[in-house]
Amino acid sequence: MNEEQILNQVPVYYYQEGIKKNILQRAWHLGKLKAVLSMIDKYPDSILDVGCASGWFLSKVSRRYPKAACVGIDKYKKAIYYGKKRYKSLKFLYADAHKLPFRSNSFDLVIATEVLEHVTDPTGALKEIKRVLKKEGSAIIEMDSGNFLFGIVWHWWTNIRKGVWRDAHLHLFTAKKLSEMLGSNGFIVSKKKMFNYTMGVAFLLKKR
């Protein structure tokens, strides 16, 4: 499948409705949200969510930090339109993670949850995240840990259950491989957190 086909297999309300109706989706995404929120080390004035989909995750972060200016970007145009209609207080842009439409040093906090495994050039996306992050800002990169347990669950979810996201992982990562990539692209890992029974991993990063 090409990128458009991969995106179009996902309903625009996938997160909003799935978390209500599917116990596994609810457990995974609420566990992810809890892990990411626990890693934010200071109140950000500006937040960018790279790969925000339809804005469910960013809307939850903005509730914790209501005074922050929150922006989400994604290449799934229908999801961006849905987010704009649903979350009026947030700003959504149709944009590419490889070429973020912001000036350098623009954001106090940049979040990318389950994004790098889906983009064509993870290194390019990381360079853009670093570019738009303020000198004293923080970035949080999160994804699956790539361990054996996740592999079993993911195979069941995408192939046996035949859920969405089939063929969506363009790159395979482990926690170690991701950590090395972050370091080689100018980030310092301030904190690492495993969650969801070690199937998820999140890194709190600073600019080197």
- As a three-state string, the secondary structure of 149-202 is HHHHHHHHHHHHCCCCCCCCCCCCCCHHHHHHHHHHCCEEEEEEEEECCCCEEE
Q: What's the pLDDT at 100?
A: 98
**Mean pLDDT calculated for residue range 70-89:** 96
Burial of 51 (0-12, 13-18, 19+ CB in 10 A): buried
From 108, 100, 125, 99, select the one nearest 185 (Cα to Cα).
125
Say how far apart CA 125 and CA 112 lie, in whole Å.
10
Does the predicted TM-score (pTM) go above 0.85? yes
Q: What's the pLDDT at 138?
A: 98
Q: Domains in the chain, ordered, with CATH?
A: 3-207 (3.40.50.150)
Mean of per-residue pLDDT scores for the chain: 92
State the pLDDT confidence band at 3, using cuts at 50, 70 and 90: low
State the pLDDT confidence band at 87, using cuts at 50, 70 and 90: very high
201 and 112 Cβ atoms separated by less than 8 Å: no
pLDDT in tens, 29-46: 999 999 999 999 999 999
pLDDT over 90 percentage in the chain: 77
Q: What's the pLDDT at 1?
A: 62
Q: What's the pLDDT at 174?
A: 93
pLDDT in tens, 150-197: 989 877 877 766 666 666 778 889 999 999 999 999 999 999 999 999
**Mean pLDDT calculated for residue range 95-114:** 97
**Does the pLDDT of residue 146 top 80, yes or no?**
yes
Q: What's the pLDDT at 154?
A: 79
